[in-house]
Amino acid sequence: MTLADVKHDDLIALLNRADGVKQHVFAQLLDDVARRSTCGRKRNAHTAKRVQNS
């Protein structure tokens, strides 16, 4: 992971703001970020495959 990736990573941004957040709220936020991140990776992989097949 490069410095540019770190600056734009949702999970790292969430961890940087996590101080003082209740545990159950943090767990829910973490789950939401993970879900968005997984969806983005699947979408990017699908797009890359479609471009490759063109």
Q: Quick: pLDDT tens for 1-54.
A: 566 666 667 777 777 777 777 777 777 887 888 887 766 555 556 555 665 665
pTM over 0.85: no
For the chain, the structural domain boundaries read 3-53
What pLDDT, on a 0 to 100 scale, did the predictor assign at position 11?
73
Q: Determine phi and psi for 2, rounding to 5 degrees.
A: -90, 170
What pLDDT, on a 0 to 100 scale, did the predictor assign at position 31?
83
Distance between CA atoms of residues 34 and 31, nearest Å: 5
Answer whether 10's CB lies under 8 Å from 33's CB. Answer: yes
Residue 14 in tokens: 């969430």
Distance between CA atoms of residues 28 and 22, nearest Å: 10
